[in-house]
Amino acid sequence: MGTGGAPFSGGILSSEEGKTTWPIRLDNNENAYGPSQKTMAAMKESLPLANRYPGAACQELAESIANLHKTNVENVILGCGSSEILRMVAAASLGPRKKLVVASPTFDLIAEEAKRLNAEVISVPLTKVYTHNLNAMLAKIDGQTGLVYICNPNNPTGGLTPRRELENFLHSLPPKIPVVIDEAYYDYVVEAVSEPSFLDRPLADDRLIVIRTFSAMHGLAGLRVGYAIAGVQMARKLAAIRLAYGVNIVAAKAAVAALQDSEYVRACRQRNADDHQEFLNVANARMLRVLESHTNFVMLKAERHWQEVVEHFGKNNILLGPLVPSMYGYVRISLGTPDEMKEFWRVWDLMPFRPHKMEM
């Protein structure tokens, strides 16, 4: 869900012009094309309501989500981004003498929350094709396991664990262990028919907590709004520790409009597929390896340390994704607009060619 990278506090100062120049942001997995026109119109229309608390708007959003996923509004949990929902799930399920089982690498916010709660984090390496090693995860689960977290597609690698494998994993899991399926980037999955999400084709399993966000495909990362679908008992448990009025009225109104604009989602999915293919074409022409990704970001094997690459691009006004400690030779790149990606490759070609072997 996750979903972002290192925080950024301002523009880059240009010594030639003596003024601030905003960088090209390829670091946080955002939708480079922004929200739809219908969503922006909803934001503008809601601005005069800024003097009102968002209760009614949030109710409308929860009902829209329930209708979309053919569930009851009692199963919907809203949050200030999916980050807040992950915090709530951790608080409801973990603590001292409890364990969180996660993949490595993956989106690490929930692991950070687990550590803050003095829970033990059990990290299981991904498979050789960078999907979840579910058998290895299952072997780590015991009586102290309080929560299992699965980010699918995975951040930062972009790999998609097959639905059939996930179902087998859930069937083999001991009862009463909550499982988070973080589908922050599922809107980008082209194979959604053959690999349906747990919202499009739900399981009758009260252990499941399926999370979505408006930060990626819908282009609303700055408004901070996400949601989860869970069993009624878990939903009530999470609602009890939810931040009051955590979703503001502009975000709620924008999210309702975004859900209704299914044509924009389809168009963005296709545009992302085209942008991804173009990235692969250019990378292949340079004989560079790119991990298979089902998202709006890619992991590029740079054949050099992450810091060297990121510093080079930073000097050229381009921000790249954060370090993945177990993958020093890779760089995560959020796909930008065609013009932004042309600039990316221009700057890439400015790097000195210094091939050397690295331990990955």
Superfamily of domain 12-34+263-348: Aspartate Aminotransferase, domain 1 (3.90.1150.10)
- Distance, CA of 100 to CA of 146 (rounded, Å): 6
- Distance, CA of 129 to CA of 124 (rounded, Å): 14
- Distance, CA of 220 to CA of 233 (rounded, Å): 29
Q: Tokens representing 269?
A: 């999915």
- Architecture in CATH of 37-261: 3-Layer(aba) Sandwich (3.40)
Greatest Cα pair distance, the chain, in angstroms, is: 63
- Distance, CA of 22 to CA of 13 (rounded, Å): 9
Residues near 71 by Cβ (< 8 Å), separated by ≥ 6?
202, 229
| pLDDT tens sequence across 244-265 | 899 999 999 999 999 999 999 9
Main-chain dihedrals φ then ψ at residue 210, nearest 5 degrees: -105, 125
The one-letter code for the residue type at 203 is: L
Beta strands at 76-79 and 120-125: parallel, antiparallel or unpaired: unpaired
| pLDDT tens sequence across 78-117 | 999 999 999 999 999 999 999 999 999 999 999 999 999 9
- Distance, CA of 33 to CA of 291 (rounded, Å): 23
Considering 8-17, 144-153, 184-193, the range whose residues carry the highest mean pLDDT is: 144-153
Q: Look at the block and give the residue holding tokens 């994993």.
A: 169
Main-chain dihedrals φ then ψ at residue 39, nearest 5 degrees: -70, -40
Task: Write down the domain spans for the chain.
Answer: 12-34+263-348, 37-261
Q: Look at the block and give the residue holding tokens 């299952």.
A: 138
| pLDDT tens sequence across 220-240 | 999 999 999 999 999 999 999
| pLDDT tens sequence across 162-202 | 999 999 999 999 989 999 999 999 999 998 888 899 999 98
- Distance, CA of 291 to CA of 46 (rounded, Å): 41
Helix (H, G, I), strand (E, B) or coil at 1: coil
- Does residue 303 surpass a pLDDT of 90? no
